[in-house]
Amino acid sequence: MNSSGMFFGIGVGPGERGLIPLVAWQALQKCHVIFAPRARNRERSVARDCLPANEIPEERFREIEFSMDSDRTRLAKQYAEVADMLALELQAGRDVAYLTLGDPFTFSTYIYALAALKERLPNLRHRTFPGVTSYSAVAAATGFALGEGKESVLVLPCPDSAEDLRSMIANHDVVILLKIGHRLPAVLRLVREMEIAEHCVFGHHVGMADEKLCMPVGEMETEPANGYLSTMLIRKGGGGIRSLQGGTASVPSD
């Protein structure tokens, strides 16, 4: 069955309100229904809070709860349920948006939601707008060059094994580390052992009210809770951090 509504995947940025491409914002304002993922342990969608305040009527939003589950069977069931909800709205002729933190195709729930939706609506009309990633925001806030000349750059979710991470750092000029979570203390120990902590920066909840930036990370506290919604930029050698003064910084959000 053809869907009569248009589906939009929209990256809302990593945290700061309004850090969304203009063309994506214009499309979002025209959507009849806006789905906003929300983690089960949160009262409100973080992605939704990244939008400019009070610009879109409340009744257009639908928050959908996700659990951070590693079981593929339960995850597949979860995305199937989301796809059913999206398809229902689209088949009713409504234009639908799906919000995601950062970029929709960079380690995002949107990837799986879109795949499940396409299974239900093979002729789905859709467009995905790119978004600002957390690592781009951390780089901009700290003056960290993500890649110069012919440097090799690796983007990855934090591995469980410190030795795996050590090997990845050794084989690349810059490593962009996402989804750090409870592994933060181990990551900090590793970069200190490798004597590269002075070439690394860290961002927690970048662009949000409780943002924390550490530049460099040599003296950073090893509180595991700071690893959630966090990014670390790791440089194997010096020379890539511009005007780095050290310590922490905070940028207020609207």
Q: What is the CATH number of the domain that holds 241?
A: 3.30.950.10
Q: Mind listing the pLDDT tens digit for each residue in 3-41?
A: 489 999 999 999 999 999 999 999 999 999 999 988 776
Q: Mind listing the pLDDT tens digit for each residue in 137-180?
A: 999 999 999 998 999 999 999 999 999 999 999 999 999 999 99
Q: What is the dihedral of CA 136, 138, 143, 146, to 10 degrees?
A: -40
Q: What is the mean pLDDT of residues 226-242?
A: 78
Q: What is the CATH number of the domain that holds 22?
A: 3.40.1010.10
Q: What is the mean pLDDT of residues 194-199?
A: 95
The predicted pLDDT at position 249 comes to 45
| Structure tokens given for 236 | 């194997």
The predicted pLDDT at position 69 comes to 61
Instruction: Judge if 103 and 31 occupy the same domain.
Output: yes
The predicted pLDDT at position 68 comes to 64
- Asked if 5 contacts 93 with a C-beta cutoff of 8 angstroms, the reply is yes
Cα–Cα distance for residue pair 20/1, rounded to 1 Å: 32
User: Would 234 be classed as within a structural domain?
Assistant: yes
Instruction: Judge if 21 and 119 occupy the same domain.
Output: yes
Q: What is the DSSP letter of 160?
A: S
Domain stops at, among 129, 163, 194 = 129
Domain stops at, among 98, 129, 160 = 129
The predicted pLDDT at position 225 comes to 65
User: Would 119 be classed as within a structural domain?
Assistant: yes
Instruction: Judge if 63 and 90 occupy the same domain.
Output: yes
Number of domain units in the chain: 2
Question: Considering the chain, what percentage of its residues have pLDDT values greater than 90?
Answer: 67
The predicted pLDDT at position 70 comes to 64
Distances in whole angstroms, Cα of residue 249 to Cα of each of 59, 141, 177, 188, 201: 37, 9, 20, 18, 11
Where do we find the tokens 């339960």?
Answer: 74
Residue type, 50: C
Entry pTM? 0.86
The predicted pLDDT at position 40 comes to 72
The region of weakest confidence among 42-51, 82-91, 109-118 is: 42-51
The predicted pLDDT at position 45 comes to 86
The predicted pLDDT at position 251 comes to 39
Instruction: Judge if 107 and 202 occupy the same domain.
Output: no
Instruction: Judge if 92 and 62 occupy the same domain.
Output: yes
- Residues facing residue 99 across a β-bridge: 10
Cα–Cα distance for residue pair 69/82, rounded to 1 Å: 15
Instruction: Judge if 121 and 27 occupy the same domain.
Output: yes
Instruction: Judge if 100 and 189 occupy the same domain.
Output: no
pLDDT greater at residue 242 or residue 47: 47
Instruction: Judge if 117 and 138 occupy the same domain.
Output: no
Cα–Cα distance for residue pair 7/20, rounded to 1 Å: 17
Q: Which residues of 152-167 are buried (b: 16+ CB within 10 A; e: fewer)?
A: eeebeebbeeeeebee
pLDDT greater at residue 219 or residue 217: 217
Domain stops at, among 113, 129, 145 = 129
Q: Mind listing the pLDDT tens digit for each residue in 90-129?
A: 999 999 999 999 999 999 989 999 999 999 999 999 999 9
- Asked if 235 contacts 174 with a C-beta cutoff of 8 angstroms, the reply is yes
Instruction: Judge if 110 and 156 occupy the same domain.
Output: no
User: Would 240 be classed as within a structural domain?
Assistant: yes
Per the structure, the complete domain to which residue 123 belongs is given by 6-129
User: Would 1 be classed as within a structural domain?
Assistant: no
Q: What is the chain's mean pLDDT, rounded?
A: 88
